[in-house]
Amino acid sequence: MKCLTKLAALVIVMLSGNAWAVGRMATVTVVDRDTGSVLSTYYFRGEYWLAGRPGAHYAIEIHNRLGERLLAVMSVDGVNVISGATAAWDQEGYVFAPRAGYQITGWRKSHQEVAAFTFTASLDSYAARTGRPANVGVIGVALFRERPPQLYAPPGVAAPEASREPPASSDNAAKAAPSPEAEARALLKAPVASTRTPAPRLGTGHGEREYSYVQDTDFQRQQDEPNEVIRIRYDSLENLVAMGIVRRPGPRPPLASPFPASAPGEFVPDPPG
């Protein structure tokens, strides 16, 4: 299939060892482009969350941890970031070279431009403005490994099989450790639960145009379903605090002395007379 590959015109990032990265085959972080800071992730009830700053431009940073090419089908608020279609994992995505990392900075408008990702009120998000508000507040990355090239074999000689992962040592081990594919299916089927928040929920807007160059490339997926799915939910810090996801320290009370009229180290004085 035809996919897009990032070239060196984009900022290359090295994310190895980043405490805020999510993912195994590739790591995903979100960066506030206005401040340059990597947004902290919070693990809460089986999901990763981050706090976006309303009005800020942001980028999704992906770093391929494998020594082979990876395809990343990416969605924001349930919308494919390349085509604008309601996201599904069989759609086009970005191809990452071995060990390479890049910033995805916006909705793709052409091979040369994107419309910047911006944190905005959910009603002003691109998904809501195009009639798809149900999944506002979630970033998704479906990762696919590449099918090995077919090796030519002379007539009468069997071609060697592609390498496969060894099977589990026992049936019990296989049941105890579900495959990444099974985890991916369960994660994508899980709905984005609605929550009550004190402030309007945060979504991703369709920002100003900016330069971002890509070109087409061929990529044959190893399988139809993703090898790994990464899901990160986001909202404003105020809402994350209200939902108990982020614990904000309260104000420190002023110091109080139980005996304000006596200096430390003094003894009881004699009474008058």
More confident residue, 131 or 152: 131
**CA distances to 20, 33, 40, 59, 61 from 37, in Å:** 11, 7, 9, 11, 12
What is the DSSP secondary structure assignment for residue 239, as one 8-state letter? H
Q: Which residues pair with 57 in a beta bridge?
A: 118
Q: Classify residue 182 as exposed, middle or buried by CB count within 10 Å of its CB (0-12, 13-18, 19+).
A: exposed
* Mean pLDDT (whole number) for 255-259: 71
Which of 185, 16, 26, 17 has the alpha carbon at shortest distance from 93? Answer: 26
Average pLDDT in the chain: 79
Q: Is the pLDDT of residue 192 over 60?
A: no
The C-alpha angle with vertex 62 and arms to 59 and 67, in degrees rounded to 5, equals 160
- Domains of the chain, by residue range, sit at 2-149+203-242
Cα(104)–Cα(169) distance, integer angstroms: 40
Show the tokens assigned to 71: 């395809």
Show the tokens assigned to 1: 């299939």
253 Cβ contact partners less than 8 Å away, ≥ 6 residues apart: none
Q: Is the pLDDT of residue 256 over 50?
A: yes
**Structural contact between residues 142 and 76, judged by C-beta atoms closer than 8 angstroms:** no
Which of 262, 128, 145, 137 has the alpha carbon at shortest distance from 206? Answer: 128
DSSP state string for 126-137: HHHHTT--TTTT
* Mean pLDDT (whole number) for 46-71: 95
More confident residue, 194 or 1: 1
At residue 12, what is the residue type?
I
Q: Is the pLDDT of residue 199 over 80?
A: no
Q: What is the pLDDT of residue 23?
A: 85
Cα(108)–Cα(91) distance, integer angstroms: 14
Q: Is the pLDDT of residue 159 over 50?
A: no
Which residues of the chain form beta strands (DSSP E)?
2-6, 26-32, 37-38, 41-44, 47-52, 58-64, 70-76, 79-80, 94-96, 101-104, 106-108, 113-121, 138-145, 202-211, 214-218, 228-236
The whole-model pTM stands at: 0.72
Q: What is the pLDDT of residue 153?
A: 56
Q: Is the pLDDT of residue 266 over 80?
A: no
More confident residue, 95 or 180: 95
The H or E element spanning position 182 is helix 180-189
- Tokens 């990597």: give the residue: 38
Q: What is the pLDDT of residue 171?
A: 34
Q: 3-class DSSP state for residue 185?
A: helix
What is the DSSP secondary structure assignment for residue 25, as one 8-state letter? S
